[in-house]
């Protein structure tokens, strides 16, 4: 079982290039890959996303890839002196024709297209693709290691909460047979208080008690709840993406507990139902972080 939350980082110097990759993942129902790439690597975006989705099965993943020159002399500024001289000459000619004193500053030259050129190295995407793929793989391994560790903590927490639910369920199962007996006594007492002397073996009384017993029978719901808990543990032991399956089981567990509460018609059981539902809500919140 693996968490959706994690972080990974990797870097490598290849020839004259420094490649750095940072990957952060958070929980999300669907798989969402966001890549931040230098403009020179746009052609690799599709392949890099496929590489990420082959490892990350669910969640929002943001990957930032930077490729910088390892050489300090690989970029700079160049000056087109001929173009600058032509510009100054034309300005002087214009000033002479207009009879105005027009002066040109350094800032004016900066605004002239082509006079100063800021040189940057073009990233050779094809040549670096193999190295970028390797660095991304290292970053993904670091991400998965963190997600696995987080998944282990989540599993331990979920196991403790499942044990609490099981404990409450056993209390409910033990109290369930007593509900009919309490109803029988209460019904007989109310009849006596109403001045109606009816024998406990009276057919009408037995029929009413039988109907009540049928309505408040929660044995099937208890059996299904136990089965769901067993399935929950089975999924937690898998290495596949089990988040959606666990979320579905949370819904089913909650549905069974709600049915138990409505059918049992007993204050004591109702209290344990409330405690169980509270714990199930906490379980479902944790499941939202699982791939």
Q: Are 77 and 118 in contact (CB under 8 A)?
A: yes
Q: Is 219 exposed, middle or buried (0-12, 13-18, 19+ CB in 10 A)?
A: exposed
**pLDDT computed for residue 127 by the predictor:** 84
Question: pLDDT grade, residue 146 (50/70/90)?
Answer: very high
| CA neighbours closer than 13 Å in the CB half-sphere of residue 184 | 17
Backbone angles phi, psi at 61, to 5 degrees: -115, 125
pLDDT at 287: 95
What percent of the chain is predicted at pLDDT more than 90?
Answer: 47
Across residues 92-100, what is the average pLDDT?
A: 80
pLDDT score recorded for residue 62: 96
Give the pairing of strands 17-26 and 59-69. antiparallel
End-to-end CA distance of the chain: 8
Report whether pLDDT(175) > 90.
no
What is residue 218's predicted lDDT score, i.e. its pLDDT?
82
pLDDT at position 286 is 95
Find the mean pLDDT for residues 19-48: 91
How far is it, in rounded angstroms, from Cα 25 to Cα 143? 8
- Whether 122 shows a pLDDT value over 80: the answer reads no
Q: Which secondary structure element, helix H or strand E, spans residue 10, and what is its range?
A: strand 6-14
Write the pLDDT tens digit of every residue in 253-265.
Answer: 999 999 988 877 7
CATH code of the domain made up of 6-71+126-147 = 3.30.230
Find, among 130, 131, 141, the residue nearest to 52 by Cα. 141
Please check the confidence at residue 227 and state whether its pLDDT lies above 60.
Answer: yes
Residues forming beta bridges with residue 34, ordered by sequence position = 62
Residue from 50, 11, 4 nearest 25 by CA: 4
120-136 b/e (C-beta count within 10 Å ≥ 16 → b): eeebebeebeebbeebb
Query: Residue 107, Cβ neighbours under 10 Å: how many?
Result: 7
- For residues 96 and 85, what is the distance between their CA atoms, to the nearest angstrom? 16
CA geometry: angle 211, 217, 221, nearest 5 deg: 150
- For the sheet containing 17-26, what is the strand order? 6-14, 17-26, 59-69, 31-36
pLDDT of residue 35: 94
**pLDDT, tens digit, for every residue of 54-91?**
998 889 999 999 988 776 554 567 777 888 888 888 88
Q: What are the structure tokens assigned to 278, written together? A: 């509270």
Asked if residue 20 has pLDDT above 70, the reply is yes
Q: What is the mean pLDDT of the chain?
A: 84
- Percent of the chain at pLDDT above 70? 81
- For the chain, the domains span 6-71+126-147, 76-119, 150-287
- Give 211 or 33, the one with higher predicted confidence: 33
CB atoms within 10 A of CB 17: 20
Q: Among 68-72, 105-109, 117-121, 262-266, which is the least confidently predicted range?
A: 117-121
Tally of CA atoms within 13 A in the half-sphere of 38 that contains its CB: 19
Please give the model's pTM, rounded to 2 decimal places.
0.69
Average pLDDT of span 151-178: 92
Compute the half-sphere exposure of residue 39: CA atoms within 13 Å on the CB side of its CA: 3
């Amino acid at each position: 079982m693996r968490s959706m939350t994690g972080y990974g980082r990797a870097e490598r110097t290849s020839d004259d290039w420094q490649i750095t990759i940072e990957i952060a993942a958070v929980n999300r129902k669907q798989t969402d890959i966001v890549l931040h790439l230098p403009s020179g690597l746009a052609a690799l975006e599709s392949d890099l996303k496929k590489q990420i989705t082959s490892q990350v099965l669910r969640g929002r993943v943001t990957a930032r890839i930077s490729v910088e020159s390892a050489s300090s002399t690989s970029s700079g500024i160049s000056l087109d002196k001929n173009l600058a001289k032509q510009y100054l000459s034309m300005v002087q000619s214009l000033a002479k024709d207009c009879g105005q004193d027009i002066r040109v500053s350094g800032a004016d030259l900066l605004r002239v297209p082509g006079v100063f050129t800021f040189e940057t190295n073009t990233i050779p995407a094809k040549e670096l693709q193999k190295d970028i793929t390797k660095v991304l793989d290292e970053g993904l391994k670091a991400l998965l290691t963190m997600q696995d560790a987080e998944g282990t903590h989540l599993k331990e927490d979920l196991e403790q909460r499942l044990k609490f639910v099981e404990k409450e369920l056993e209390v409910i199962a033990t109290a369930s047979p007593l509900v009919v007996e309490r109803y029988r006594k209460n019904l007989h007492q109310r009849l006596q208080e109403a001045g109606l002397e009816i024998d406990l073996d009276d057919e009408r009384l037995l029929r009413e008690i039988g109907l009540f017993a049928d309505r408040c029978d929660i044995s099937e719901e208890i059996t299904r709840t136990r089965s769901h808990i067993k399935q929950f543990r089975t999924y937690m032991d898998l290495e596949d993406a089990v988040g959606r399956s666990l979320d579905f089981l949370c819904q089913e567990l909650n549905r069974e507990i709600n049915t138990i509460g409505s059918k049992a018609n007993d204050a004591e059981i109702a209290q344990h139902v409330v405690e169980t539902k509270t714990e199930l809500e906490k379980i479902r919140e944790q499941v939202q972080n699982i791939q």
